[in-house]
Protein backbone atom coordinates (compact mmCIF):
# COMPACT_ATOMS: atom_id res chain seq x y z
CA UNK A 1 0.00 0.00 0.00
CA UNK A 2 1.39 3.43 -0.95
CA UNK A 3 1.68 6.13 1.68
CA UNK A 4 -0.14 9.39 0.82
CA UNK A 5 2.95 11.30 1.98
CA UNK A 6 4.91 9.89 -0.99
CA UNK A 7 2.54 11.83 -3.27
CA UNK A 8 3.22 15.13 -1.48
CA UNK A 9 6.14 16.29 -3.62
CA UNK A 10 5.73 20.07 -3.37
CA UNK A 11 7.07 22.19 -0.50
CA UNK A 12 5.00 25.10 0.81
CA UNK A 13 4.86 27.27 3.90
CA UNK A 14 2.41 26.89 6.74
CA UNK A 15 1.81 30.17 8.60
CA UNK A 16 0.74 29.14 12.10
CA UNK A 17 -1.00 31.85 14.10
CA UNK A 18 -0.60 31.82 17.89
CA UNK A 19 -0.99 34.31 20.69
CA UNK A 20 2.20 35.54 22.30
CA UNK A 21 2.17 34.75 26.03
CA UNK A 22 4.53 37.63 26.83
CA UNK A 23 3.62 40.42 24.36
CA UNK A 24 0.45 42.49 24.70
CA UNK A 25 -0.91 45.49 22.85
CA UNK A 26 -1.78 48.90 24.36
CA UNK A 27 -5.08 47.48 25.66
CA UNK A 28 -3.55 44.45 27.39
CA UNK A 29 -4.64 41.94 24.70
CA UNK A 30 -2.20 39.24 23.69
CA UNK A 31 -0.59 39.91 20.31
CA UNK A 32 -0.87 37.29 17.57
CA UNK A 33 2.39 36.06 16.10
CA UNK A 34 3.02 33.98 12.98
CA UNK A 35 5.44 31.08 12.81
CA UNK A 36 6.50 29.85 9.35
CA UNK A 37 7.08 26.14 8.81
CA UNK A 38 8.09 24.41 5.56
CA UNK A 39 5.83 21.48 4.78
CA UNK A 40 5.38 18.92 2.00
CA UNK A 41 1.93 19.06 0.44
CA UNK A 42 -0.40 18.28 -2.46
CA UNK A 43 -3.03 20.79 -3.61
CA UNK A 44 -5.99 19.95 -5.89
CA UNK A 45 -8.71 22.30 -7.06
CA UNK A 46 -12.27 21.57 -5.90
CA UNK A 47 -14.17 24.47 -7.42
CA UNK A 48 -13.77 27.87 -9.04
CA UNK A 49 -16.36 30.63 -9.09
CA UNK A 50 -16.81 34.25 -10.08
CA UNK A 51 -18.89 36.58 -7.97
CA UNK A 52 -20.31 40.03 -8.52
CA UNK A 53 -18.87 41.33 -5.26
CA UNK A 54 -16.35 44.12 -5.94
CA UNK A 55 -13.86 42.81 -3.38
CA UNK A 56 -13.85 39.13 -4.49
CA UNK A 57 -14.19 38.60 -8.22
CA UNK A 58 -12.68 35.14 -8.39
CA UNK A 59 -12.89 32.56 -5.64
CA UNK A 60 -11.16 29.17 -5.75
CA UNK A 61 -11.64 26.26 -3.37
CA UNK A 62 -8.83 23.74 -3.06
CA UNK A 63 -8.21 20.46 -1.21
CA UNK A 64 -4.92 20.61 0.70
CA UNK A 65 -3.18 17.37 1.72
CA UNK A 66 -0.51 17.50 4.44
CA UNK A 67 1.56 14.86 6.26
CA UNK A 68 -0.15 13.28 9.27
CA UNK A 69 2.42 14.77 11.66
CA UNK A 70 1.64 18.39 10.64
CA UNK A 71 0.44 20.65 13.44
CA UNK A 72 -2.23 22.80 11.75
CA UNK A 73 -5.38 24.68 12.80
CA UNK A 74 -8.19 26.45 10.96
CA UNK A 75 -6.84 29.89 11.92
CA UNK A 76 -3.57 29.21 10.08
CA UNK A 77 -2.77 30.17 6.48
CA UNK A 78 -0.89 28.36 3.72
CA UNK A 79 1.43 29.62 0.97
CA UNK A 80 2.14 27.31 -1.98
CA UNK A 81 5.44 26.95 -3.84
CA UNK A 82 4.37 29.68 -6.30
CA UNK A 83 3.69 32.26 -3.57
CA UNK A 84 -0.14 32.05 -3.67
CA UNK A 85 -1.70 32.43 -0.22
CA UNK A 86 -4.72 30.44 0.99
CA UNK A 87 -7.04 30.65 4.01
CA UNK A 88 -8.43 27.56 5.68
CA UNK A 89 -12.15 27.05 5.22
CA UNK A 90 -13.14 25.12 8.32
CA UNK A 91 -10.91 22.94 10.48
CA UNK A 92 -8.31 20.57 8.98
CA UNK A 93 -9.10 16.90 9.53
CA UNK A 94 -6.80 13.99 10.32
CA UNK A 95 -7.64 11.02 8.04
CA UNK A 96 -7.54 7.59 9.65
CA UNK A 97 -6.15 4.57 7.76
CA UNK A 98 -7.99 1.49 9.08
CA UNK A 99 -5.49 -0.92 7.53
CA UNK A 100 -2.41 0.69 9.06
CA UNK A 101 -4.40 1.66 12.18
CA UNK A 102 -2.97 5.16 12.29
CA UNK A 103 -3.50 8.60 10.78
CA UNK A 104 -2.41 8.60 7.13
CA UNK A 105 -2.56 12.34 6.36
CA UNK A 106 -4.40 15.60 7.00
CA UNK A 107 -6.98 17.03 4.60
CA UNK A 108 -8.20 20.60 4.61
CA UNK A 109 -10.26 22.83 2.40
CA UNK A 110 -8.53 26.11 1.61
CA UNK A 111 -9.62 29.05 -0.52
CA UNK A 112 -8.04 31.81 -2.48
CA UNK A 113 -9.75 35.08 -3.35
CA UNK A 114 -8.60 37.55 -5.99
CA torsion, ordered 32, 37, 40, 45, to nearest 10 deg: 30
User: How far out from the chain centre does Cα 56 lie?
Assistant: 20
Q: Tell me if 73 sits within 8 A of 67, measured CB to CB.
A: no
Largest CA distance in the chain: 55
pLDDT for residue 113 is more than 70: no
Residue-wise pLDDT for 11-25, tens only, equals 999 999 887 777 778
Predicted local distance difference test score (pLDDT) of residue 15: 95
Q: What does the mean pLDDT of the chain come to? A: 86
Amino acid sequence: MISPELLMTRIGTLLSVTESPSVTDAYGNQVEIEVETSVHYELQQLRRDETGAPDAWQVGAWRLYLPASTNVAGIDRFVDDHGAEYEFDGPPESVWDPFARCASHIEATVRSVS
